[in-house]
Amino acid sequence: MTEDKRRRVSSEVVDGTNKAPGRAMLRAVGFTDEDFRKPQVGIASTWSNLTPCNMHIDKLAEHAAQGADNAGGKSLTFNTITVSDGISNGYKGMKYSLVSREVIADSIETVAGCEGFDGIVAIGGCDKNMPGCIMGMARLNRPSVFVYGGTIQPGKNHTDIISVFEAVGEHARGKIDVKQLHEVESTAIPGPGSCGGMYTANTMASAIEALGMSLPGSSAQDAVSDTKLEDCRQAGAAVLNLLERDIKPTDIMTREAFENAITVVIALGGSTNAVLHLLAMAHAVDVKLELDDFMRIGAKVPVLADLRPSGRFMMSELVEIGGILPLMKTLLDAGLLHGDCLTVTGKTLAENLEGIAPYPEGQEIIMPLDRPIKKNSHLVVLRGNLAPDGAVAKITGKEGTHFTGTARVFESEEECLEKILEGAVQAGDVVVIRYEGPKGGPGMREMLSPTSAIMGRGLGDSVALITDGRFSGGSHGFVVGHVSPEAIDGGPLAIVESGDRITIDAETCRIDLELDDAEIRQRLEKWTRPKPPVNRGVLAKYARMVASASEGAVTDRFD
């Protein structure tokens, strides 16, 4: 392919006498005459010192830029935002978390679209900037590679951020004292990297690799490692190869590729947030993906990984035995992955997995297919008179598959958390937290603090929790989120009263309020929609534009 064709979009920005003003601006940031003849590669960095997940990404971006430059491109680095779920959970600021996914996608699309980059490398390390990066790159549909920032090391005594959340509940019940709580707080987060279990960050990194949008191995590397630096350099070079071969995100992010991503998420026991994010990512490339697809695929894919939060091991320990590539090879050989899907290497998934060795003998992290942790998916889509459009549960089997209890209704996360810590929530309760959906929050907060408090108080096997909000990848127990329609849209969750009986059945995939249809209709007729909680700023805009959780909670669905 000729040099001019390789440059594509950037030629519209820098070629010709009438583009002299733009070239003058670029000379000020380091361009030479030769650079104007090179393909331009935007390096989207999510660096900030707000959170350990992203505190090292500035260095990773430098290595990605080097890789692009050494391969014959000209790199330009720009930043987008990140927020910290771990810091904001349990606080009203968490309303901005899911909103940040849209801001990140919008900003990458905006910068790269304006500047005329030919290709993009995006580096993300936290829950929302990973799908946000993919969505931004997908909308532009220019040759692109995603790089995961990598996982954190375990804290003292094999602890992580979820250990701290659950220690709060243990302190509330008197199991540990303030000094012990402080010890966990002070040692659980030892340095850079994303939260250490198969929580949302590691789940989405794995899903993106299975999707074909990151290089093989990128999702299972330590944040601070030579391996991760090399991954970044190779990603920068890979974009030039994609440009040469004219391979774009829409060539990679096909329906079959999304099925591969779902399969790997299930096998790893990944976060319910993957459902929300994969729906949104598919929307960005006009791939039809629905909640029922997760159930269809989940019927034949087992959970194989014994990883936190429900299991014993951390991502860093999976890294030590080979990451997810041997798992993907196992799934491919069993006919559970589409091997002909194209990836950012320019090769198919099957070609990438050629020669991948199996896990070492004696490892206990990934179980064999004939001895799964669960024979089918832990991600269960429930429907019933309480969630006509669907809800998402994470049922590993350890919680049981059926729960019937008495509703204890709360209008916000804060109100619920306070009562849990006071001991007001008892065995047999079905905790209902409503008006926390995408519109009602607004922002669809994660209910990590309440679920962790329930676990810390020793109620994990005797209390269920349902919400139109969502859950952290670190949440576990009998929890159901994404209830749709959400309460503020007049979904049945809005008319549940404390004392009502609720049944959750993961075998029949039902979630039902034990009232007859006439009583439900009567209550809904009397229900009055609350006033919007905000009427200015980004949250107000989000509430007006956001789609249902059952559609990925995207903000650009106008069809």
Residue listed under structure tokens 């010192």: 49
pLDDT at residue number 473: 84
Whole-number Å distance between alpha carbons of 362 and 331? 19
Please work out, in degrees rounded to the nearest 5, the angle formed at the alpha carbon of residue 176 by the alpha carbons of 171 and 179. 100
What are the distances in angstroms from CA 239 to CA 112, 314, 353? 14, 31, 20
pLDDT (0 to 100) of residue 477: 82
Answer for the pair 46, 80: CB distance below 8 angstroms, yes or no.
Answer: yes
Using alpha carbons, select from 533, 543, 375, 391 the residue that is nearest to residue 471.
Answer: 391
* pLDDT value at residue 7: 53
Q: Which parts of 342-487 fold into alpha helices (H)?
A: 349-352, 413-422, 448-456
* Contact (CB, 8 A) for 108 and 80: yes
CB atoms within 10 A of CB 172: 17
The helix (H) or strand (E) run that includes residue 78 is strand 74-79
Q: Are 233 and 64 in contact (CB under 8 A)?
A: yes
CB 158 within 8 A of CB 85: no
d(CA 345, CA 335): 22
Distance, in Å, from the CA atom of 72 to the CA atom of 59, rounded to the nearest integer, reads: 21
Residue 396 confidence (pLDDT): 83
**What residue ranges of the chain have pLDDT lower than 50?**
1-6
Question: pLDDT digits over 24-74, tens only?
Answer: 999 999 999 999 999 999 999 999 999 999 999 999 999 999 999 999 999
CA-based radius of gyration for the chain: 23
Q: Are 260 and 349 in contact (CB under 8 A)?
A: yes
Of 62, 56, 50, 43, give the one whose Cα is nearest residue 224: 56
What are the DSSP E strand ranges found in 395-459? 402-410, 429-433
Within 13 Å, how many C-alpha atoms sit on residue 72's CB side? 11
At 240, which helix (H) or strand (E)?
helix 226-245
Q: Could you report the per-residue pLDDT of 418-468, keeping only the tens digit for each?
A: 999 999 999 999 999 999 999 999 999 999 899 999 999 999 999 999 999
pLDDT at residue 3 in the model: 46
pLDDT, position 113: 97
Could you list the active site residues? 472
Backbone angles phi, psi at 481, to 5 degrees: -125, -175
Beta strands in 66-221 (DSSP E): 74-79, 119-124, 144-148
